[in-house]
Structure 1
Amino acid sequence: MASEEELFASVDALLEEEPQLPPPAERARLREAAGITQARLAVALKTSTQTVKNYENGRSEPKSPRLEAYQRLLKGWAAKYLAHGVPTAPAPAVAPQPAVRATFTGPVTPAPETEAVAPGQAPTVPAAPERPAARPASSRRPAAKKATAPALDPRFPHGPLAVLDGDGSAYGVDGIVLDCPATTVVELVEWTLRESGLGAAKLNRYGKDSDPLIVLTAAAAVKFGLPERLEGHEQRRSLRLPEDHPVVKQVVRAKWQLTQRGFGPWVRIYRKAQGRERQCVQLAVLSWDALDERSWPGVTEMEPADIAQVLGVYAQRVITPRGSTAVSGLELMAALRPSTRAVRDEATGNWVSGHNPGSLGTEPMDPAPPEATAEHPVVVNSGWAGGFLNEEAYQWVRSVDLLTDEECTLPFAVGLDLNTAFLAAAARLVVGLSEPVHFMNPPFNPKVPGSWLADLSHVELDPRLPSPFTPTGERPTGPAWYQTHTVAYAQELGYNVAPIEAYLRQATGAYLDPWHDRLKIAYVDTLADLGVTKDLDDRQFLAAMEQHKQVDPAMAAVLAAIKATVKGGVGKLRERPQGKSYKEGERWPALQRPTWRPDIRAAVISKARVNMHRKLRNMATMTGLYPLAVLSDCVVYPSPGRSPLDFLPYAASGKPQPGGFRLGPTPGLAKLEGVQSMLWAVDLMEQGLNPARHIKGGDAVLDEGE
């Protein structure tokens, strides 16, 4: 018979064991019975929504101290919500389940259908787990949206990418975990192409499938012989391994190639395609700052599974990342409008590669001199001195001398920010697709994209509004080069325009339409995942926007990346030369791209600035209010209250008046950027600083150039 001491020791051992949780299905049932969404539970547990999903499908288990908190919550719910036919006693102890893994030793094949199992016979478990729905959906979104998940491509059963940790675990989308046996970069590339089941289908019927992406954690980088950090990592643009590094030499010896950017934070390793099959893998090294904190806030600090989910959602909604968000934005344009398509050769009857109508073609195109930059060869070699387009976003502050006593007595300055203003401007935007043609004294045609030399200094506007013709908001003093939308707006205001000179493009098209449409859907869907939906009224919208980043940090990071993709993609259309060794007049690498098109960038920005001015003018007409400052897509107004609802124009029915600023979650509509005191705003204006730059954080000491 056991002694009392032995019994107490045995009981103490039980008490010291890790807390046990009910089975995954029961966890989900209890949460749903309590009426709590996965997003709310994630906030309470200080984790991501995807991690909560993993807890409820058995793909991962919480660790201390989150384990004890989760168990306490589940016990409380279990006492309240008894399942039909389930005893009230605690569920039998279940050992924590490891993450589901799929280990591959050969080509990926579809899993066989489940066969009937005889009594007492162990069921057969397929090696590759069935991949769940690829598109996460918030429970606050309409049910209809959940049906829009992309169809699974059987060639890429494990999604577009994986995050590889130092222990060989490759974390994919939707919680899947693969075993990667590779110990060298070359083995990793071959495993990715032959066994991983990673990749993504092309976005256009004439395009190419996306290459699989492997993201390396710091531990994985070290495991493959890479430095954890690169020296001089503060100069991110020039990061790369030297050509004599052992890993680079290993790649070359194995007959693989690197692109011109070498082995840096983003590296493309490839061999020439065999027939239609591409042989290319992209690697991203997290500890080399592959994910810029400004575009991917907080992502590098996440667990590998959560990083995979963030990047996976971005890949499914936008594109598999191929570099910075700016690079991805530019690549998305080309992926949606491929330069070539298959056409039949009339002479031979064979199918050959031909131009894809509506695309930018395969060859780079030099801009007209006024569309170029001062260091561009077309400028340097021709001695051009006729001026340049200055189509940039607003950076304007109203003179304090033009403030009225009534405005100064208002208590608040309220900032409004337009959602992805450049994306809204890209909608149905007609741009040039052919070489620029020079004209002297041409009649103005608002339907022809191009650059016009015109004198708009005679246009009279209220001095309390910025000029629509210059980024500084100052009135033009003489002839200058303008993009078509800017000149057309002068005509819209009722003024005569008589161009002196022009560079126009005969072939035109809405090149950016599919880019706009895809990014708009991505932006709206991601906001909806964060609880900001189209069906909210303006008060509900403001309340949802106030806390949307706390709903799910992972989805908030996706939203930030989408916004950065828009701005960065437009900026890349006129990428400037980089590096101290560059000499004026030399061609730089970006000029070799068909997508180096400063005229398209100018068209987007011109339309965005004109759209902003039109709203400012309509607001003044409807409300008598004039802005204090404008910075790109942010405008600051004096206000009697802390909310945009205190000064935005509404009809008697309660509906927003068309033509002015309207609140909402779609591109071109507005959201609250920040609120400060009117005294704060006037103080900044007197210092020559822009309140629109600082209203979000209220920091009045930042330098204007930051």
Structure 2
Amino acid sequence: MASEEELFANIDALLEEEPQLPPPAERARLREAAGITQARLATALKTTTQTVKNYENGRSEPKSPRLEAYQRLLTGWAARYPTHGTPAAPTPPPVAATQPEVPKTFTGPAAQEVTEPETSAPAQGPAVQASLQRPPRPAATSRRPTAKKAATPAVDPRFPHGPLAVLDGGGSAYGVDGIVLDCPATTVPELVEWTLKESGLGAAKLNRYGKDNDPLIVLTAEAAVKLGLPEHLEGHEQRRSLRLPEDHPVVKQVAKAKWQLTQRGFGPWARIYRKAQGRKRQCVQLAILSWDALDERSWPGVCEMEPADVARVLGVYAQRVITPRGSTAVSGLELMTALRPPTKAVQDPQTGNWISGYNPGSLGTEPMDPAPPEATPEHPVVVNSGWTGGFLNEEAYQWVRSVETLSDEECMLPFTVGLDLNTAFLAASARLVVGLSAPDHFHAPKFNPKIPGSWLVDLSHIDLDPRLPSPFTPDGARPTGPAWYQTHTVAYAQELGYNVEPIEAYLRRETGAYLDPWHDRLKTAYVDTLADLGVTRDLDDRQFLAAMEQHKQVDPALAAVLSAIKATVKGGVGKLRERPQGRHYKEGDRWPALERPTWRPDIRAAVISKARVNMHRKLNNMVKMTGMFPLAVLSDCVVYPSPGESPLDFLPYAASGKPQPGAFRLGATPGLAKLEGVQSMLWAVDLMEKGLNPARHIKGGDAVLDEGE
């Protein structure tokens, strides 16, 4: 049995203060409030996950010395997370154990001993194969259960008026929960000073190692004009690059007052700051509504709302996701960093001083070049090396079934029904192990599904039913020869029973579930917002379909929040491989996005690969359970022929009436399906014959023939 000292040392790793044994339900509440999984707690207590579950449901009680260790932990958590409040700085979810320097072995779930990377032409296959087969260490990833919907969070005394305000032309600043502040500012510098010194706006950091969220001031058109800004921002370039010229009077005012603008200048989302004084940040985020700061596709109808309603929409988003810092894509990326800050305070063993050090599980502070096959054709690592070995093509499905494969029975069915998977990329990011270090090159390695990376494999020998898309290509066509694939794609070929023999690979030694806290926060935001719109997880399938028909009409403001949450997921994943913009870019030059540690095309590829594999697995299971084949797939939408106008007419159910696991299932959580649209079978076949994708049009029914599909 483990000693008491060893147990206390483990607990002190989770908690640094003197923590007693509450009722079982309270034990579970405290653990969830701290963001610690049952598995993580079990590891610290040197016991099993089932034992921890027994502690939390009252079936058993710990005995000494485990009892004293458990008491110590719960007492400390009770101090941090009282029953009627929340901490100002939440404890971050646990992260995978990694090292800031590249070790000579894989860590985290991969945890495979691997020889030094390839440095010369001769293949090192046998050495790599032998080392890759060594037993893995236990995974140390975070899995946090979805928290129950909480009451209104406690007000942070530093930010009594919430995270943001919407300023109108009369000087009224509308905040969250109906707050209206009087803002006397008549210039942008005065507005910044008022925001930082008098407004009481801002929000607490999302991770104890992170930074507080800067206050956001949203300007209506009238407010913008009052502050000397143009009502609309005109220009001929792309909207995202529009900004005030450097000689504009407002830009000069900002500079004269010794404030600075970020590199993107004074555009629809302008950040105005001074260098931090000590620990206190001096930064204000502005968003200008009449400059299209809130894209209609992500924030439907919000620009036309009254200031108080705009404040409500953005306030709910800020509370559940993050204070907006730009487009939903930018916010999605910023949320990753806010939940996994790159640095934390560490003690210098030489001097004893506290310094900034690497935060394990994060992406660090330095940008990282991808492996050539993970890059884009214009990337310097490709252009400068003359790489001609091909690229990863891990993209979402755009597949239409050949009309020749339709049976007479299918053609006789009257309807086609579209199913859309809720936030499929978000579902794919759960428990997703990604690389945290730079890629190393190997020749002829033995495939290991636990190691994230890119593998050159020939999957062209795999012959699958032509009535299903190939799981290995975005267009669903059978591979024609060796190609680069992300780990999940190759692992799925193995899952289907086929042999895989990689020719070469770029693999990462340090690994972790980097996106886990991002997934957990966005999943909770999505589920809670849907529940506020009347779509709760306790509904049966008929009730769910009825609730989804009406949910956008229940509360347009919350419907806009839901739309923004979904856009945050897709946009955040897309930003991981942001391409160069602007007509002046030259191939081979670095572009601004490459200077971010979050420019990680390999992580994007991992998310999309897993999402596409998840989709194919469901398609395959539908064939096994129902004998039905899809007509088309577009990303997270699939179209099936159906005898009726409802998914209930063809989805598989057990004799008990419960949905069959493994196939498409209706529901309100990420990865489950909702109804996308219904059309006639004749309509779908007509589109298919014209080479168009019914999944793209089934929601609206109309198709544009010259859309370039």
Q: TM class, shorter-chain normalised?
A: 0.7 to 0.9
Give the whole-Å Cα distance in 2 for the aligned partners of 1:359 and 1:563: 24
Report the secondary structure of 1:148's partner residue: coil
- Alignment partner of 1:322 is 2:328: no
* Contact 1:339–1:355 (Cα < 8 Å) also in 2: yes
Identify which of 574, 580, 592 aligns with 2:595. 592
Amino acid at match of 2:182: D
Larger Rg: 1
Structure 1 residues 39-78: aligned runs within 5 Å: none
Structure 1 residues 58-137: aligned runs within 5 Å: none
C-alpha change, 1:234 and 1:569, in structure 2 (3 Å) is same
Structure 1 residues 436-475: aligned runs within 5 Å: 436-475=439-478
Give the corresponding residue for 1:428: 431
Amino acid at match of 1:207: G
Deviations 1:437-475 (A, max 9, x none): 000001000000000000000112111000000000000
C-alpha change, 1:147 and 1:567, in structure 2 (3 Å) is closer
* Contact 1:233–1:288 (Cα < 8 Å) also in 2: no
Give the whole-Å Cα distance in 2 for the aligned partners of 1:466 and 1:252: 57
Give the whole-Å Cα distance in 2 for the aligned partners of 1:645 and 1:584: 51
Report the secondary structure of 2:275's partner residue: strand
Give the whole-Å Cα distance in 1 for the aligned partners of 2:207 and 2:230: 38
Give the whole-Å Cα distance in 2 for the aligned partners of 1:671 and 1:426: 20
Identify which of 407, 410, 414 aligns with 1:404. 407
Q: How far 1:146 moved relative to its partner?
A: 6.1
Give the whole-Å Cα distance in 1 for the aligned partners of 2:705 and 2:432: 36
Q: How far 1:238 moved relative to its partner?
A: 1.3
C-alpha change, 1:702 and 1:525, in structure 2 (3 Å) is farther
Give the whole-Å Cα distance in 1 for the aligned partners of 2:303 and 2:198: 27
Amino acid at match of 2:304: E
* Contact 2:444–2:503 (Cα < 8 Å) also in 1: yes
Report the secondary structure of 1:485's partner residue: helix
Report the secondary structure of 1:374's partner residue: coil
Q: How far 1:703 moved relative to its partner?
A: 3.8
Structure 2 portions without partners, runs of 5+: 1-146
Give the corresponding residue for 2:518: 515
- Alignment partner of 1:271 is 2:274: yes
- Alignment partner of 1:651 is 2:649: no
Q: TM-score, normalised by structure 2?
A: 0.79
* Contact 2:261–2:270 (Cα < 8 Å) also in 1: yes
* Contact 1:467–1:474 (Cα < 8 Å) also in 2: yes
Q: How far 1:281 moved relative to its partner?
A: 0.2
Give the corresponding residue for 1:172: 175
* Contact 2:454–2:505 (Cα < 8 Å) also in 1: yes
Give the whole-Å Cα distance in 1 for the aligned partners of 2:232 and 2:332: 27
Report the secondary structure of 1:416's partner residue: strand
Identify which of 212, 215, 218 aligns with 2:218. 215
Report the secondary structure of 1:408's partner residue: helix
Give the whole-Å Cα distance in 2 for the aligned partners of 1:344 and 1:338: 17
Amino acid at match of 2:401: R
Q: How far 1:237 moved relative to its partner?
A: 1.3
Identify which of 345, 368, 377 aligns with 1:365. 368
Report the secondary structure of 1:544's partner residue: helix
Give the corresponding residue for 2:480: 477
Deviations 1:12-36 (A, max 9, x none): xxxxxxxxxxxxxxxxxxxxxxxxx
Q: How far 1:651 moved relative to its partner?
A: 0.2
Give the whole-Å Cα distance in 2 for the aligned partners of 1:234 and 1:320: 28
- Alignment partner of 1:389 is 2:392: yes
Identify which of 166, 186, 189 aligns with 2:189. 186
* Contact 1:408–1:678 (Cα < 8 Å) also in 2: yes
Give the whole-Å Cα distance in 2 for the aligned partners of 1:430 and 1:418: 22
Give the whole-Å Cα distance in 1 for the aligned partners of 2:460 and 2:149: 53
Give the whole-Å Cα distance in 1 for the aligned partners of 2:313 and 2:545: 25
Report the secondary structure of 2:676's partner residue: strand
Give the whole-Å Cα distance in 2 for the aligned partners of 1:234 and 1:313: 33
Report the secondary structure of 2:417's partner residue: strand
Cα-Cα RMSD:
1.0
Report the secondary structure of 2:165's partner residue: strand
Give the whole-Å Cα distance in 2 for the aligned partners of 1:677 and 1:431: 42
* Contact 2:456–2:502 (Cα < 8 Å) also in 1: yes
* Contact 2:421–2:670 (Cα < 8 Å) also in 1: yes
Give the whole-Å Cα distance in 2 for the aligned partners of 1:399 and 1:461: 14
- Alignment partner of 1:537 is 2:537: no
- Alignment partner of 1:228 is 2:231: yes
Identify which of 520, 527, 530 aligns with 2:530. 527
Give the whole-Å Cα distance in 2 for the aligned partners of 1:406 and 1:668: 30
Give the whole-Å Cα distance in 2 for the aligned partners of 1:540 and 1:369: 50
Deviations 1:1-22 (A, max 9, x none): xxxxxxxxxxxxxxxxxxxxxx
* Contact 2:654–2:660 (Cα < 8 Å) also in 1: yes
Give the whole-Å Cα distance in 2 for the aligned partners of 1:278 and 1:702: 53
Report the secondary structure of 2:494's partner residue: helix
Structure 1 residues 505-584: aligned runs within 5 Å: 505-584=508-587
Structure 1 residues 272-291: aligned runs within 5 Å: 272-291=275-294
* Contact 2:293–2:327 (Cα < 8 Å) also in 1: yes
Give the whole-Å Cα distance in 1 for the aligned partners of 2:675 and 2:509: 41
* Contact 1:690–1:704 (Cα < 8 Å) also in 2: no
Report the secondary structure of 2:493's partner residue: helix
Identify which of 239, 251, 256 aligns with 2:259. 256
C-alpha change, 1:705 and 1:517, in structure 2 (3 Å) is farther
Deviations 1:348-380 (A, max 9, x none): 001100000000000000000000000000000
Give the corresponding residue for 2:694: 691
Q: How far 1:235 moved relative to its partner?
A: 2.6
Q: How far 1:148 moved relative to its partner?
A: 3.5
Amino acid at match of 2:453: G
Amino acid at match of 1:307: V
Give the whole-Å Cα distance in 1 for the aligned partners of 2:251 and 2:398: 45
* Contact 1:689–1:704 (Cα < 8 Å) also in 2: no
Deviations 1:607-626 (A, max 9, x none): 00000000000000100000
Give the whole-Å Cα distance in 2 for the aligned partners of 1:146 and 1:480: 45
C-alpha change, 1:666 and 1:703, in structure 2 (3 Å) is farther
Q: How far 1:700 moved relative to its partner?
A: 2.1
* Contact 2:149–2:528 (Cα < 8 Å) also in 1: no
Give the whole-Å Cα distance in 2 for the aligned partners of 1:588 and 1:656: 48
Give the corresponding residue for 1:378: 381
Q: How far 1:180 moved relative to its partner?
A: 0.1
* Contact 2:269–2:326 (Cα < 8 Å) also in 1: yes
C-alpha change, 1:592 and 1:677, in structure 2 (3 Å) is same
Give the whole-Å Cα distance in 1 for the aligned partners of 2:642 and 2:492: 29
* Contact 2:622–2:628 (Cα < 8 Å) also in 1: yes
Report the secondary structure of 1:641's partner residue: coil
Report the secondary structure of 1:519's partner residue: helix
Give the whole-Å Cα distance in 2 for the aligned partners of 1:313 and 1:226: 28
* Contact 1:419–1:669 (Cα < 8 Å) also in 2: yes
- Alignment partner of 1:354 is 2:357: yes
C-alpha change, 1:585 and 1:245, in structure 2 (3 Å) is same
Q: How far 1:236 moved relative to its partner?
A: 1.0
Amino acid at match of 1:394: Y
Give the whole-Å Cα distance in 2 for the aligned partners of 1:408 and 1:211: 57
